[in-house]
Each structure stands twice: as structure tokens, then as C-alpha cells.
Amino acid sequence: MSRRHLSASPSPRPAKRAKIEHLTKEDFKNGLFLAPMVRSGALPTRLFALTHGATLVWGPEIVDKAILHGTRNVDPTTGVVSYDGKSRAIFTTHPIEKPYLIYQIGSSDPELAVQAAKTVMQDVSGIDLNCGCPKPFSTHSGMGAALLSNPDLLCSILTALRDAMPPEITVSAKIRLLQTQEETLKLVERIVNTGVSALTVHCRTRNMRDRDVATIERLREIKEFVDGMGRGIAVIENGDCLGFEDAKRVKEVTGADSVMIARAAEANPSCFSPTPLVDVGETLMPDYLRLSKYLGNHWALTKFCVSQFKGAHVKTTKRIENDVRGQVVNSKGYEHLGAIIGEATGEEVFQEIVKAIEGRLPRGHVQEEESEGGLVTPSNTQNPEPPTLKAPRISDFSRLMPAMITGQDPLTPTPSMIVF
């Protein structure tokens, strides 16, 4: 009897790529976040922040009615998603940042807030309600910090958002402290009961400004109060955090789950790294300009952001940094910056950023996928160090996200910058 021929074993099929789940409450814990900032929170800044270790990034506050009048366009070359108004983009993003992107809404109307959230939800991972902006453009319409005086409206907007959004879209809020701790705790209790996934507390009252020292010591009682409610809500500190190392101090003082950074990130978006960029006139400004040009970032936004950049000087002098800044401030467009940008298109910078962001396991929530050989679970291994962009980055990409990160920063106060 002839023996049955056994064919050689086929080569094992490559494991399917791990599917990344949507954001959960846990993703707002143990993190360092980029705060929502008008102008300073532009797409290039968010991408640099993610490259250098930011866990999640908040976009700038966009008023509900504004985004409803925008037209969504996708650049076929760069992939940039732009919600365009009549004369300029209202909001821009890119799919590479979607798993980490929280969109902040300015609203005083539950229905309009829901419409605005539905307009952008395909491009973001979470919706945040601005309840802290003290600027007249926001408060005169009952938005921002005005909501602190109208908790019924504030909570009705959050409830409407949570009811309308699919479960994969988180809903959160960012508030300021009220005058008394008792008032603050009452408001926090109501907000938590709306079903939010996270609560950011800017540790200043409505009447305080950035030059006033944030009262971060008040947050510990708020954090303990929220924990006592048993809902697992992350409490995020915002106010006077200088960067990665300083976040340790802030967390120790406040007990916060995470920290959010504003002004330090405005001055240096690599502050989320334990080794932030130095000599920014050579290591940050040129690449930021190249990236902004490639992504089509509005020149006025780019000029403003670059004008705020500051950092320590190690191999260069402050004069070099000031020279670059001066050329940018005095220029009318990217075409006048050949001496700084060179012949590069900015695509190389963008591709390095893409590799850096894709090179880490975003958030650590990994879903097993079915393959012919059964369930395949991606191994939790260290990823190769991504290209450098002339700067050090977080190397432990196997972590959920950088562990000790978040806060706001009192660096280089900018009167025109709005921090919510």
C-alpha cells in the first residue's frame, strides 16, 4: 500500500495587526496631555506634542455654530482633514492623530453642541465641553466660564452629548474652580453624574489669570471626592505644570490621575519628553516651519506659534533663536523663509512624525483578533526607536502611554494666548 504523501507545512501566516480599541475612562489616567489652546493648539503643535510623548491632545476650542458652517475637505496629497469656512479653515486634523485627539466645543446650547459633535465625530476620539474660558468672546454668549454659573445648562449639554454620541466617543468637561470648595464639589458631583469619562480642573477661578499662581492644592479633595463616587472618572490637573519632570510634583501634591500642560507646551511642544528639545532655533523652529508648510497650516497661525517657542541653550546662543524668530515674524509667508526651510518640502518631517506616532502602542488597549490559527495577541515588546527629528523622544512605547505626564505651564506668558 502506497504511503500517503504529506505536503510540507505551509509557512505560518503573519499575525493580524492588533486592533486598537476606542478610548475608555482608563485612557485618561496616568497621562500627560496637551491643553486646548486657541491658535497655539494648531495641528503641527499637536503632532509635535504626540511625537515627543503627549498621551492625548486637545484641539483648540471651536464654537458650535462655527463648525456647523464649515465644509469638510480632505487634501489628497497630505491627508489633512480641513473644516473650511469662507476665508480659512475652522479646524484641521489628520488621521494619524485621531486615536489621541479630543475635540473641544464651546457651547451654551445642548442641541447645537450635539450637532457640532456629530459634525466632527468621524475625525476625533472624544468630545470635551469648555466650561472654563473667561474671555468675553466666550462668556458673553453663555459659553465657557459662564457655564460655571449655570450648572443646569452645563449638565444638560453634557447629558445631551453623552446620549447622542456612540460609546466609542468619550465625553468630558474642563472647568475652573469656583470661589469656595463646597460650591466646586457640588458642581463636580453633578458633572460626574452626567456620565463623563474624565474631568479636567483648571486650578484657577474664573477671575484669576495666568500670572496668578494656580491653587493646585485644592484639587486633592476634589480628586478624593470623585473617587468616593465610585465611577472611575479620571481627574486631570491643569495649571502651573512645567513639563514631564514637574508633572511628578503636581501629581504628588494633587493626587490627580493625569496632568495637562498649556504654556510650557506653547513654549516648547517637546516638554512632554523627559529630555525636551534644547536649542529650539535649530532643533524645532525649522522643522516646525517645514511641517506647517507641507500641511498647509495657515501662515498667521504658524507665525504666532513659532514666535512663542523658547528653550534652553546648550550648543547655540539665544541670538540664533532670536534671529530665526525675527525672520519668521517679519515674513509674509513661507515663500520668504528659504534660508530657514531650505529646499525641503516638509514631507520628510511629516513621515518621521508618522513613524514616531505609529511606533508606539497607542493607549495599551489592544483587542485580540481572530486568525486561522486562533486568537493572536500582539506581544508587548519594545518598539524600535523612531527617527529622531533631531530630538529625543519617549522610548518606552510599549507602555500604555507616557506614565508621568500632564499639567499646564507658567512659561513665557502670552497675553494673546487663550488657555481654557
Question: How far is the C-alpha of 138 from the C-alpha of 146, rounded, in Å?
Answer: 8
Annotated catalytic residue, options 131, 133, 203, 305: 133
288 by DSSP, 3-state: which? Answer: helix
User: Rounded distance, CA 31 to CA 44, Å?
Assistant: 20
Whether the CB-CB separation of 306 and 331 falls below 8 Å is answered with no
Strand partners, 91: 83
How is 112-149 classified by DSSP, letter by letter? HHHHHHHHHGGG-SEEEEEE---SHHHHTTT-GGGGGG
Residues 6+ apart with CB under 8 A from 302: 42, 44, 288, 289, 292, 293, 328, 334
Active site residue 305: no
* Whole-Å CA distances, 310 to 48, 143, 322: 15, 32, 9
Residue 257: phi and psi, rounded to 5, are -70, -35
Strand order in the sheet with 81-84: 71-74, 81-84, 89-93
- What is the SS3 assignment for 78? coil
Catalytic center residues? 133
